[in-house]
Amino acid sequence: MKLLNKEKLKKIIHYGPLLFIIAITTTVLLVLFIINIFEKQQEAKYYQYKIHPIAPLEDDPKLWALDFPHQYDDYMKTVDQIRTRYGGSEALPHTPSKADPRQVVAQSKLEEDPRLKKMWAGYAFSKDFREERGHAYMLQDQLYTGRQAVPQPGSCLQCHSSIYKAMMVIGEGDVHKGFETLNKMPYKDAVKNVEHPVSCLDCHEPSTMTLRVTRPAFIDGIRDYKEHNGIKNYDVNKMATRLEMRTFVCAQCHVEYYFKGHDKQLTFPWKKGLKADEILSYYEENKHKDWIHEITGAPVIKAQHPEFEMWSQGIHGRSGVSCVDCHMPYKRVGATKISDHHIRSPLLNINRACQTCHNIPENELIERVEQIQGRHTEMRNTTINALMDLIDAIADAQKKKMAENKIKKAQNFQRQAQFLIDFAEAENSAGFHAPQEAARIMVKSIDFSRQGLKALK
């Protein structure tokens, strides 16, 4: 017994330091683990931090900032103007006047590419069309664009202001009713009902802070699209997953649209699908036109910012990577992880926007993006040239008094070619969101221009 005890003692002396280290390490790990749990609990409690109850229709972001100062600070940073190779925006000094008090404006896309004026001849877009800039400017840029020379409807405000409150007040609690009333008002009257650019209220339910869709045009549009895919009575705010909401909140505005009928109801043309040619076939069926082309007399359509539609055709959309993953990536503030409300080009923020998923050096990632965008721009230029040739040829045929049926046929090809190239051009990622789909659309556009020229033979 004695002998054994001595042995034990020796062992203890021998292993003592090791045991001590193990004990310390275990304690440290345990403490770290407990701290981690505590942090997680704090994060979970985040939403209960609200000390200042937010009114259900509070559209002033300053009052939300009392509880969420970090999100507010980032949101306010959308005033920045930094140009990337194919995106971002450049701040050009502007002489303020009473009629247009803006201090800076973004670069003109019409000056960069005068062919666009010919593409949109006779339409307000041929007067003023600029690079888009941050959310902070959306209301003033709409108020003072040269396109206001043509009277615009109230429906314009749906995507350029925090309009949820106005819809609810005017519709007496019925958002669709308020939407319809505001849409058909002249812009100059409707604008008196809004004060802020897109704000917290438009994407968040104030009592829980969960994401929600507030725009009737999207609620109806996505229902039409789901129905096309065999899902009936889709209610986005009840049925969408959190992941889908991280794209849908942006798709309230970053989509192709048109104003339906005399009441100028804002409508998303998704009954036949989200692809450019499916949208075109929807317009072919309802014979919608935005204007009559000034040079050729063709009834034409303008495509606008189809970011959501194009994203849905790309590899990131397919893989479930949302708009928010790249444009509002997570960032750490102290112990909490927040979403970066400084919405901008992800190329200004590769580290958080891309490298969380891609273990690739920053300059290599930028080169990959710019390679896609460079090829896209080359294809875009070729496609626009083909359309320019068709427009010239139709004008020439009209001068030469060619048979009316031939001209009609060519005008119809112009309408189709023009919509498809415009769709690829108006999409603001310069091809990145879905490179191959953009290429497919442009090839189709070139083919329509070719058929148009053939029709005039």
Q: Do residues 265 and 183 lie in contact, with contact meaning Cβ atoms separated by under 8 Å?
A: yes
Rg of the chain over CA atoms, in angstroms? 28
Closest CA to 226 of 290, 184, 270: 270
Other CB atoms within 10 A of residue 1 CB: 5
Residues in the chain: 457
Instruction: Scan for tokens 């042995």, then name that residue.
Output: 7
Question: Out of 160, 212, 223, 275, which residue is the one contacting ligand HEC (CB under 6 A)?
Answer: 160
Looking at residues 3 to 22 of the shown chain, list those that interact with ligand HEC (rule: CB under 6 A): none
- Spatial separation of the C-alpha atoms in residues 125 and 142, rounded to whole Å: 13
Q: Do residues 84 and 370 lie in contact, with contact meaning Cβ atoms separated by under 8 Å?
A: no
Select from 24-32, 67-75, 414-422, 448-456 the region that touches ligand HEC (CB under 6 A). Answer: 67-75
Instruction: Scan for tokens 């319809």, then name that residue.
Output: 180
Q: Do residues 277 and 390 lie in contact, with contact meaning Cβ atoms separated by under 8 Å?
A: no
Question: Out of 60, 84, 107, 406, which residue is the one contacting ligand HEC (CB under 6 A)?
Answer: 84
Query: Closest approach of Cβ 280 to ligand HEC, in Å?
Result: 18
* CB within 8 Å of 394: residues ≥ 6 apart: 295, 296, 298, 407, 410, 411, 414, 452, 456
Query: Closest approach of Cβ 49 to ligand HEC, in Å?
Result: 9
Query: Closest approach of Cβ 282 to ligand HEC, in Å?
Result: 16
Select from 60-68, 231-239, 290-298, 417-425 the region that touches ligand HEC (CB under 6 A). Answer: 60-68
Query: Closest approach of Cβ 163 to ligand HEC, in Å?
Result: 8
Looking at residues 294 to 313 of the shown chain, list those that interact with ligand HEC (rule: CB under 6 A): 305, 307-308, 311
Q: Do residues 89 and 107 lie in contact, with contact meaning Cβ atoms separated by under 8 Å?
A: yes
* CB within 8 Å of 335: residues ≥ 6 apart: 39, 42, 43
Query: Closest approach of Cβ 444 to ligand HEC, in Å?
Result: 20
Contact string 320-349 vs ligand HEC (x = CB under 6 A): -x-xxxxxx---------xx-x-xxxxx--
Residue 364, phi then psi, degrees to nearest 5? -65, -40
Question: Out of 199, 265, 445, 449, which residue is the one contacting ligand HEC (CB under 6 A)?
Answer: 199
Pick between residue 277 and residue 325 the one whose CB is nearest to ligand HEC.
325
Query: Closest approach of Cβ 224 to ligand HEC, in Å?
Result: 15
Query: Closest approach of Cβ 405 to ligand HEC, in Å?
Result: 34
Assess 159 for contact with ligand HEC (CB under 6 A).
yes
Pick between residue 64 and residue 413 the one whose CB is nearest to ligand HEC.
64
Pick between residue 86 and residue 423 the one whose CB is nearest to ligand HEC.
86
Looking at residues 208 to 237 of the shown chain, list those that interact with ligand HEC (rule: CB under 6 A): 209, 211
Query: Closest approach of Cβ 327 to ligand HEC, in Å?
Result: 3
Query: Closest approach of Cβ 435 to ligand HEC, in Å?
Result: 6
- Spatial separation of the C-alpha atoms in residues 123 and 135, rounded to whole Å: 25
SS3 108: strand
Distance set, CA 222 to CA 163, 226, 227, 251, 318 (Å): 20, 6, 8, 10, 17
SS3 138: helix
Pick between residue 6 and residue 176 the one whose CB is nearest to ligand HEC.
176
* CB within 8 Å of 444: residues ≥ 6 apart: 277, 420
Pick between residue 251 and residue 407 the one whose CB is nearest to ligand HEC.
251
Query: Closest approach of Cβ 33 to ligand HEC, in Å?
Result: 24
Which two tokens mark 124? Answer: 């307000």
Pick between residue 68 and residue 270 the one whose CB is nearest to ligand HEC.
68
Specify which residues 104 forms β-bridges with.
Answer: 93
The count of chain residues that interact with ligand HEC, using the rule CB under 6 A, is 86
Looking at residues 404 to 443 of the shown chain, list those that interact with ligand HEC (rule: CB under 6 A): 426, 428-430, 432-433, 435
Looking at residues 357 to 386 of the shown chain, list those that interact with ligand HEC (rule: CB under 6 A): 357-358, 365, 368-369
Looking at residues 109 to 138 of the shown chain, list those that interact with ligand HEC (rule: CB under 6 A): 129-130, 132-135, 137-138
Query: Closest approach of Cβ 318 to ligand HEC, in Å?
Result: 8
Contact string 256-285 vs ligand HEC (x = CB under 6 A): -x--------x-------------------
Pick between residue 327 and residue 415 the one whose CB is nearest to ligand HEC.
327
SS3 424: helix
Query: Closest approach of Cβ 384 to ligand HEC, in Å?
Result: 17
- The region, left, alpha or beta by phi > 0 then psi within -120 to 50, assigned to residue 344 is beta
Select from 2-10, 29-37, 251-259, 281-289 the region that touches ligand HEC (CB under 6 A). Answer: 251-259
Pick between residue 365 and residue 393 the one whose CB is nearest to ligand HEC.
365
DSSP code, position 15: H
Other CB atoms within 10 A of residue 232 CB: 7
User: What's the angle, vertex CA 244, arms to CA 241 and CA 249, rounded to 5?
Assistant: 115
